[in-house]
Amino acid sequence: MTTNYTSTAPINLPVAHDQTNPTQSAWTTADAADLYRVEAWSQGYFQISNRGTVLACPAENQQIDLAEVVAGLRERGLHPPVLLRFTDILSDRLNKIARAFRDEMNDQHYKGDYRPVYPIKVNQQHHVVEELSRVGSKLGFGLEVGSKPELLAVMAMSSPDPHQLIICNGFKDSRYIEAIILASKLGRTIVPVVENAGELRQVIRHADNYDIRPTIGVRVKLFTPGEGRWKDSAGFRSKFGLFVSELLDMVGTLKEHDMLDCLKLLHCHAGSQIQNIRKVKDVIAELCHVYAELRRLGVGIEMLDIGGGLGVDYTGEQASDAGSMNYTLEEYAADVVYRIKSICDAEEVNHPTIVTECGRAMVAYSSVLIADVLGSTGPSRFRDPPPTDPIKEADDTPQPLLDLVTALESVDADDLVASFHDAQQARDEAASLFSLGHMTLDQRATAERLFWATCHKVRDVRDTLEEPIESLASLDELLSDVCFCNLSIFQSLPDAWAIDQIFPIMPIQRLDEEPDRHVILADVTCDSDGKLDAFLSPDGVRRTLRIHTVQPNEDYDIAFFLVGAYQETLGDLHNLFGDTHAVHVTTENGHWSIDDVVKGDTASEVLGYLQYDPERLLSTMNRDCERAVRAKRLTVAETRTLMRFYQSGLSGSTYLEPATDDQPGPHA
Ligand SMILES: Cc1ncc(COP(=O)(O)O)c(C=O)c1O
């Protein structure tokens, strides 16, 4: 579905980080930017407006207010969770990557060309690949595929411009290779990258059959190991590629078939999210020496494909940690060009065309997931203690309850830690006493409320002290609430669950007010793993996120940033939560507009993926309703209500939906 929603207000809102809200404390939007470390991770693509909302800033003088976009979508009946894809950020990333390499090549007098390709597995959504192809083809970007279905997707999409590379990595069967060979007759530069000796035989056979001189690539297993989470993508134990001795056999075979000039591309991939620039340099040095040796053997290699791996600094720490990287795009480009040039010059071989397959760095920034907050649970509701006099005066008050009252009343700045420890011990003793049958449920509830009230009081006093007390740092986590968000982590942020990937997360509104709550986030799946408890903060990664107290029926939305790479198609249907809505936001003449709306999965579609037939489900429900009416268990009016619910449930979103006139929403 394509719709044009347009902003009503000009989008060039001034960004001010120095304004205080006179009705609040001294909190400013600059404090919010510090709290969520916006400058560190956003690469300038996101900022906070003086209205306390988040702005997407695809380019200079282009600012799109996320809160305004989401409100506009709500007005039009499109409710979160929704994925916002910023086409102009994608385009800017491609430009920056291309420019970084071209500038370096000019500065260093590099004589070869630069041909980046986008590996579509990073985000195969049709709209993303199409947009990438449209913008990227002008900049010389090609596409990389890793499977037969991926090839089918790009074959009909990419232009027959012979300069637009299509690189085919991964396991290939004979039909896959035949399709590649034939597709080259359409005028495409399509390169099968040989991953094993069997593939080479098929390439030679099909090329011979169709009388084609193919452009062949080969992946080599380097000795240099990879690094980080995907370190096994490189090194001699890696899954793909030929050992050096197999590479020499391949050269011999090609020579026998008079095809040495067909081997045009040498490939390696050192793993995704390379965190340390040294790894890039080491891998390229080895690859470049293999290239030089092959050239000397008379092989026609013209392209050096260094694979993907350019990192994204999710945490903004600029460190060689898993969620970060210790280099910039410009440093990466400079080092790649310098290494290749200096080795080629020393070995007296031509500067090859440099091919990169850096997918994550192209698309991560351009997608933001927005989810609404549904409600929360946790100890913040127990801030006020119960009246203590009746507890002290009763004859049968168990000792742990009296101890809890003492701990509460003795909280002061001089003895904070001791009060906290006393409360913990008394709470544990109360729980044991209850289990032994010596305490009533009512007394146990009082013990619970006394304990939480003491913790709140200790934290309040702690926050007034100048010196931090290390042993009370865990209080924020202890007192944090669980805040429920309308999303599935398994569907929309699978890497947060599978590999503890940290994503920048923050509210998109009220950032001119100081957040007053510490929360962890939980999704709407029925799975205790469906939660997030690692967030960026000025003191590094913390277990809680600071947000505001959400008023009943308030639309309060949280944004999950840098989710454009790998999250969308790796997501699964846990608890049958499907794809969220996705919208494409662009800017023109100072206004934002929504060019495309891709509706999320309906329950009926998701059930269909798992071979349920929604029509049959409906007729079974109809039949059971009729039987219930005959048996007088349901009235006809009741069956109508039930069937209305069932039918609208099937055609509706898999996520929780807002209130309607006849149905209270999840916020109620
Ligand atoms: C062969 C190959 N090329 C490119 C990539 C993309 O890597 P990245 O998205 O980290 O740039 C991958 C992903 O692991 C890959 O396996």
CA of 96 to the centre of ligand 1 (A): 19
Tell me the C-alpha distance between 54 and 41, whole Å: 14
Half-sphere exposure of 462 (CA within 13 A, CB side): 20
Q: Does the beta carbon of 564 lie inside 6 Å of ligand 1?
A: no
Handedness of CA 337, 340, 342, 345 (dihedral sign): negative
User: Between the CA of residue 165 and those of 82, 333, 357, what are the distances in Å?
Assistant: 33, 20, 11
Q: Does the beta carbon of 91 lie inside 6 Å of ligand 1?
A: no
Q: Which fold has domain 110-358?
A: TIM Barrel (3.20.20)
SS3 readout for 222-287: CCCCCCHHHHHHCCCCCCCCECHHHHHHHHHHHHHCCCHHHEEEEECCCCCCCCCHHHHHHHHHHH
Q: Which of 115, 357, 563 to mutate to test the pocket of ligand 1 (most atoms within 8 A of CB)?
A: 357
Q: Does the beta carbon of 308 lie inside 6 Å of ligand 1?
A: yes
pLDDT in tens, 616-645: 999 999 999 999 999 999 999 999 999 999
Looking at domain 380-475, which CATH architecture does it have?
Answer: Up-down Bundle (1.20)
Check residues 539 and 521 and name the one with the higher pLDDT.
521
Q: Does the beta carbon of 275 lie inside 6 Å of ligand 1?
A: no
Within 8 A by CB and 6+ apart from 229, the residues are: 271, 272, 273, 322, 499
Tell me the C-alpha distance between 13 and 16, whole Å: 9
Within 8 A by CB and 6+ apart from 425, the residues are: 403
Ligand 1 atom 14: residue of nearest CA: 272
Instruction: Write the DSSP symbol of residue 89.
Output: H
pLDDT in tens, 488-534: 999 999 999 999 999 999 999 999 999 999 999 999 999 989 999 99
Tell me the C-alpha distance between 49 and 33, whole Å: 10
What is the band of 19 on the pLDDT scale with cuts at 50, 70, 90?
very low
Q: Does the beta carbon of 400 lie inside 6 Å of ligand 1?
A: no
Handedness of CA 560, 562, 568, 573 (dihedral sign): negative
Average pLDDT, the chain: 91
Q: Which of 269, 305, 569 to mutate to test the pocket of ligand 1 (most atoms within 8 A of CB)?
A: 269
Q: Does the beta carbon of 360 lie inside 6 Å of ligand 1?
A: yes
Q: Does the beta carbon of 195 lie inside 6 Å of ligand 1?
A: no
Quick one: the chain helix, strand, coil %, rounded to 5? Answer: 45, 15, 40
Asked if pLDDT for residue 246 goes beyond 70, the answer is yes
Global pTM value: 0.91
pLDDT in tens, 432-481: 999 999 999 999 999 999 999 999 999 999 989 988 888 998 898 899 99
What pairs with residue 373 in β-bridges? Answer: 485
Tell me the C-alpha distance between 292 and 667, whole Å: 65
Strands 517-522 and 189-194: unpaired
Q: Burial level of 119, CB count in 10 A (0-12/13-18/19+)?
A: buried
CA of 166 to the centre of ligand 1 (A): 15
DSSP per residue over 138-149, as a string?
Answer: HTT-EEEESSHH
Closest ligand 1 atom to Cα of 361: 11
Domain ranges of the chain: 110-358, 380-475, 603-651
Closest ligand 1 atom to Cα of 357: 4
CA of 230 to the centre of ligand 1 (A): 10
Q: How far is CA 388 from the centre of its chain?
A: 49
Asked if pLDDT for residue 1 goes beyond 50, the answer is no
DSSP per residue over 151-197, as a string?
Answer: HHHHHTTS---TTSEEEE-S---HHHHHHHHHHGGGT-EEEEEE-SH
Ligand 1 atom 4: residue of nearest CA: 308
CA of 514 to the centre of ligand 1 (A): 40
Q: Does the beta carbon of 310 lie inside 6 Å of ligand 1?
A: yes
CA of 493 to the centre of ligand 1 (A): 19
What pairs with residue 585 in β-bridges? Answer: 86, 594
Question: Which pLDDT belongs to residue 110?
Answer: 98
What is the band of 137 on the pLDDT scale with cuts at 50, 70, 90?
confident
CA of 554 to the centre of ligand 1 (A): 42
Q: Which of 121, 272, 279 to mutate to test the pocket of ligand 1 (most atoms within 8 A of CB)?
A: 272
Q: Does the beta carbon of 169 lie inside 6 Å of ligand 1?
A: yes
**Residue appearing with tokens 């007005």:** 75
Tell me the C-alpha distance between 647 and 634, whole Å: 18
Strands 367-377 and 353-355: unpaired
Share of the chain above pLDDT 70, in %: 93
DSSP per residue over 463-508, as a string?
Answer: TT-SS--GGGTTHHHHTPEEEEESS-HHHH-HHHHHS-----EEES
pLDDT in tens, 146-169: 999 999 888 887 666 777 899 999
CA of 590 to the centre of ligand 1 (A): 36
Residue 425 belongs to what H/E stretch?
helix 416-435
- φ/ψ of 442, rounded to 5, equals -60, -45
Residue 324, SS3 per DSSP: coil
Q: Does the beta carbon of 504 lie inside 6 Å of ligand 1?
A: no
CA of 575 to the centre of ligand 1 (A): 30
Q: Does the beta carbon of 269 lie inside 6 Å of ligand 1?
A: yes
